[in-house]
Amino acid sequence: MVDTASSPTDTDARSPGADLAIPASARDRFGIGPDWRSGMERLVEWRDVDAFRHANHTAFLLWFEAARNRYLEAMGLPRHASNTPGPVMMDLRVRYLRPLAYHEPVFVTVRTAAMRRRSLEMDYAAWTQDGCAATCTAVLVLMINDTGEKVAIPDAVRGSIRTLDNPREE
């Protein structure tokens, strides 16, 4: 994975998610529009490729998960632990648009599209130099893993997400 944290960005370094800001060079290279503000670059690894010689669908899900975890931590959600709130997948829809080959550069974007009291609707996309290769929408519920209790999104996290993505509130 290429670390974009030290790359020049078009986001203020003091803003939430500044370490995941998409560099202008990546926007140009991958054709990423201005409605995406967060993401990370990586390569299709050997382990991602299946017998059909393209990235398996599960690789995309792992990339989206990695981007989501970095994003939520940047928004102020504590790292996953059994006694702290963490995201639990409730719904997932993926659309695969084109195959990806071994060692192909990919830029994975993430954003919050909607916020409810206890859940988030998040969008993801995987971009190559030929355009968007996959899109995904997921609904995640915030839950304490030890107890299974659904909890409200903390105000500080909610504020950071609003500042960065301005999601619709439901």
Q: Phi, psi at residue 47, to the nearest 5°?
A: -65, -20
Residue 168's pLDDT is what?
A: 96
Residue 21's pLDDT is what?
A: 94
- Specify if 6 maps to a domain: no
CA–CA dist 3, 117 (Å, integer): 32
- Specify if 127 maps to a domain: yes
Residue 14's pLDDT is what?
A: 57
Residue 145's pLDDT is what?
A: 85
Could you give the C-alpha distances from 125 to 39, 146, 156, in angstroms and in order?
9, 31, 26
The answer to whether the beta carbons of residues 36 and 9 sit under 8 Å apart is no
Residue 79's pLDDT is what?
A: 85
- Specify if 1 maps to a domain: no
Q: pLDDT tens digits for the chain (170 residues)?
A: 443 433 334 444 456 778 889 999 999 999 999 999 999 999 999 999 999 999 999 999 999 999 999 999 999 998 877 788 899 999 999 999 999 999 999 999 999 999 999 999 999 999 999 999 999 999 999 999 889 999 999 999 999 999 999 999 99
pTM of the entire structure? 0.87
- Specify if 10 maps to a domain: no
Q: Phi, psi at residue 107, to the nearest 5°?
A: -115, 120
The count of structural domains within the chain is 1
Residues 6+ apart with CB under 8 A from 135: 94, 95, 97, 123, 124, 125
Residues spanned by the domain of 29: 18-169
CATH number at residue 154: 3.10.129.10
Residue 137's pLDDT is what?
A: 99
